[in-house]
Amino acid sequence: MTDSPLATATAQILRAEQQPGQKPVIKTFFDEATFTASHVVHDPQTKTAAIIDSVLDYEASSGRTSHATAEQIVAYVKAEGLSVAWQLETHAHADHLSAAPWLQEQVGGKLGIGAAITHVQKVFGKIFNAGTQFARDGSQFDHLFHDGETFKIGALEAIALHVPGHTPADMAFIIGDAAFIGDTLFMPDYGTARADFPGGDARMLYRSIHRLLKLPCATRLFLCHDYKAPGRDTFAWETTVGAERAHNIHVHEGVTEDSFVQMRTTRDATLSLPTLIMPSVQINIRGGHMPEPEDNGVSYIKIPINTL
């Protein structure tokens, strides 16, 4: 069966590799507190930009948020004279809070995420007993992307691919010749993302990864996280399809689906949950907005005891 979204993405990447004007300019901001790479992507011709996977600083001990990390992005956007069309989330992150609503106030842009966020909202809405005022229809976002949906960032061609597994709603956004793949693959020496959060699925992750690995060899891949592999002392967030195919320690060429699922499941069973999973999930499934304030005007994060 032909995968027509993948064929469209491949054709876009090959066109972009031939035409210098179709290559996006990419600036990455790495947050060492959460090991997150946020990317600002722009079209050099029109200066139209997208901000991908931004970070809101959050101090767990006090429950306080701040904007030092996101302010760096605002400063860059202003210095470069960019006009922000999109705030994109590759998925509802479990390890950091999104700064998208705050960034929208500063520099604008429509907030987009994968359409399967409604599934994530249903799963976590139930876990956190979020109540009927929490809509599970994705209405907290400005746009829900479907698999194969094409869009533009200025003159740059872009396409969204649904790559579930880490969560049910993960998307890869391919802009010109660069693919922003969220938490599917990590650097070749570090491997892949966990697949054990509620709604995650290692087999689905393997299939999504293999879909991405069918893109042209030279496709630039931009990751959402890096944790420095053993023996590497600098953070890295850019690689290529060819490097992942040849060297990814979990899914290089020749690793079968069953052996990947076995490895991933065994490894995931040893991992503790991310420190910020409780606030991150409750805020990010609301498009980065805090839960509805209680009658004293304060928003609260819930912690379900003996549940996750």
Torsional class of 148: left (φ above 0), alpha (ψ -120 to 50), beta (otherwise): left
Write phi, then psi, for 173 (nearest 5 degrees).
-105, 120
- In 82-128, DSSP assigns E strands to 83-88, 110-114
Least distance CB 8 / Fe ion (angstroms) = 26
* Interaction between residue 170 and Fe ion (CB under 5 A): no
Least distance CB 34 / Fe ion (angstroms) = 10
Sheet (strand 171-175) strand order? 150-153, 156-162, 171-175, 178-180, 220-222, 238-240
When the beta carbons of 22 and 184 are compared against Fe ion, the nearer one is 184
* Interaction between residue 226 and Fe ion (CB under 5 A): no
When the beta carbons of 128 and 186 are compared against Fe ion, the nearer one is 186
* Interaction between residue 149 and Fe ion (CB under 5 A): no
When the beta carbons of 82 and 221 are compared against Fe ion, the nearer one is 221
When the beta carbons of 42 and 91 are compared against Fe ion, the nearer one is 91
Give the x/- contact pattern for Fe ion in 90-109, rule: CB under 5 A. ---x----------------
Least distance CB 21 / Fe ion (angstroms) = 33
Torsion (CA) 204, 213, 28, 288 in degrees, nearest 10: -20
Least distance CB 225 / Fe ion (angstroms) = 7
In the bound state, the residue with its beta carbon closest to Fe ion is 183
When the beta carbons of 91 and 136 are compared against Fe ion, the nearer one is 91
Q: Report the distance separating Cα 93 and Cα 111, nearest Å.
A: 15
Give the x/- contact pattern for Fe ion in 175-214, rule: CB under 5 A. --------x-------------------------------
Show the tokens assigned to 130: 């979020």
Least distance CB 163 / Fe ion (angstroms) = 12
Least distance CB 306 / Fe ion (angstroms) = 24
Q: Report the distance separating Cα 280 and Cα 13, nearest Å.
A: 33
- Burial class from Cβ neighbours inside 10 Å (0-12, 13-18, 19+) for residue 133 reads exposed
When the beta carbons of 12 and 167 are compared against Fe ion, the nearer one is 167
Residue 190: Cβ within 10 Å count: 20
Between CA 87 and CA 96, with CA 90 as vertex, the angle to 5 degrees is 85
Which stretches of the chain bind Fe ion, using CB under 5 A?
A: 93, 183
